[in-house]
Structure 1
């Protein structure tokens, strides 16, 4: 797996060590033997622990930071070959956002477990740790609450039953994405693709690609997710008897990279899929870049990530090349695109989403 580091697509955990990591540090006396940390959100945790082990993150930027810590076996996501069955005596599972992802993470933990290994689940109350206990007890009925600290709960299960044979591919689900009469099959993992179909923003973007195609033989899909845009675009071009563009994809999350590769494989799409935390460290140029970037700002609008993204995009867009993206209409994209890329127009808008098209100056 190629991992590239750059500017983050989204905030990971803010400054300092997350509460869940601090709660583990307070209870590090529970740890013994060969250690595995699953779902690490901040590499600073490794500096605070007096021992080493295996550390996994599904975020490309965090993984890159983990790899700088000597003595640790670092892993990127759920399909890293270093995740060796039966190799760990203490497995710490940090609570993920998606409930279904917790099931997948617990299954991975049990595959790593040696005979008489212990499992420790740590999560914040606001993240839903209370509801996650039922999932924990489904695989470890003997689990008990060890501590409440830093707005978190720490649960421990002694002598969990190992479950070898874990393969992330067994967690794949398949859905269909359809636009302009063209359908593609899309791979899903927890938190990556909705079985309800396309989100409205992506649908609008695809409709503009059908109505007003990007004139380029090679494209980049930034924040590609499960690979919907690239797979659909190539299928539509083939059905329309138009030249088929190669569509490369980049995403920050390991599940997205796994899904995008599976989606491309299933649909016969072409293009390189890589994991990267932003674009700053990617050395390539494209005549066209398309994106449904995941910038969710909540109540307070923060344009700093958008500005960084557009600055990076400019460095990877050939002179005269087109940027096509969809974003929430309330976000101040238009003026920023004009500032960093060039002339910009709105191709479609419905009050909630807007599709922008811009061309980099020559």
Structure 2
């Protein structure tokens, strides 16, 4: 078995603290499951991790925070792995309280560089007796017995709405803890939207890759309506559960046309498109990681119709232009400043 993430290794080092029925919140590597033969419930918000989960006896896997496998009082030990976003930790702790049986044990594990020390205040808000029981694998492990539980976990209570406006067109966008740019418009996305008004995508079925809250697809269709153009369908795809939930809600409120899909990269995408538009991620946890986008660019040509356009915005320091040129075709910079650049490339026939 390949090396597990540090937080997963830290749990294995402290497996003697696991009692009764186990629930894992924030699974990022399915290799952990085979190392814990007692079974339990494993929750991940990553579509690729969920798809890769092996069929192991005693284990149930759940995708995201609205999976039917999430049942009240189903766990005696709940392990919460620290997420990147502090707001998402509160989200996971609330779910932990919903899953917890009476007198359940809470274990919170996170890397020091990801801010576990700063997260302790949040942990103690629901588990005042929490104590640090280990510091290993660059992680801290906190444990509490009998923490604050809740009878309900209602996703809609956590969902917020904010407006995004560009080129005089406004759309309402859903947000959940942990989603990219939750609660405020991302400046790179706004630059991208401006170029979409000045130089529209080719007409036809399009794809918004790494769609986040669904703002790009909804805004394009709202702009088309404002210009008296019949909206073209735009599918939306993202790897994260919260993004898929938010994009679906945003599409419904905007009456946008297109499918919303959970997919690790383009694995679940079968259609060829007239255009693919994206503001792709470049972080894995706290690290800069362009692997996902570089893999996407290599695959994107197969999902573009001949002459179809890729429209991508990225931080200007990221080395995407050469990869786009190699995988799609000649590249044009439609807009650029010190922070962001919008690229356009058309698939060569």
TM band (smaller chain) = over 0.9
Q: Does 1:318 align with 2:305?
A: yes
Q: Does 1:36 align with 2:11?
A: no
How many residues matched?
348
Contact 2:275 2:310 in 1 (8 A): yes
- Residue aligned with 2:275, SS: strand
Question: Which among 202, 205, 211 is matched to residue 224 of structure 1?
Answer: 211
Q: Is 253-262 or 139-148 further displaced after alignment?
A: 139-148
1:169 is matched with 156
Contact 2:265 2:292 in 1 (8 A): no
Cα RMSD, aligned residues only: 2.1
Distance 1:297 1:153 in 2: 20
Contact 1:219 1:286 in 2 (8 A): yes
Which structure exhibits the higher relative contact order, with contacts defined as CA atoms closer than 8 Å and separated by 6 or more residues? 1
The C-alpha deviation readout for 1:130-182, integer Å capped at 9, x for no partner, is 12111111111122222222222211111224311102221111111000111
Q: Does 1:130 align with 2:117?
A: yes
Distance 1:315 1:162 in 2: 48
Q: How much has 1:68 moved relative to structure 2? A: 4.1
Q: Does 1:337 align with 2:324?
A: yes
Question: Which among 195, 210, 215 is matched to residue 197 of structure 2?
Answer: 210
Distance 1:256 1:104 in 2: 14
Contact 2:282 2:290 in 1 (8 A): no
Distance 2:39 2:290 in 1: 38
Distance 1:86 1:301 in 2: 38
Is the alpha carbon distance of 1:147 and 1:332 closer, same or farther for their aligned partners in structure 2, counting shifts above 3 Å?
closer
Q: How does 1:1-362 map to 2 (within 5 A)?
A: 16-194=3-181, 197-296=184-283, 305-362=292-349
Q: How much has 1:67 moved relative to structure 2? A: 4.1
Distance 1:269 1:240 in 2: 15
Contact 2:159 2:175 in 1 (8 A): yes
Distance 2:166 2:336 in 1: 17
Is the alpha carbon distance of 1:235 and 1:56 closer, same or farther for their aligned partners in structure 2, counting shifts above 3 Å?
same
Q: What stretches of structure 2 of length at least 5 have no aligned partner?
A: none
Q: How much has 1:239 moved relative to structure 2? A: 1.0
> How does the TM-score come out when normalised to structure 1?
0.91
Distance 1:116 1:306 in 2: 44
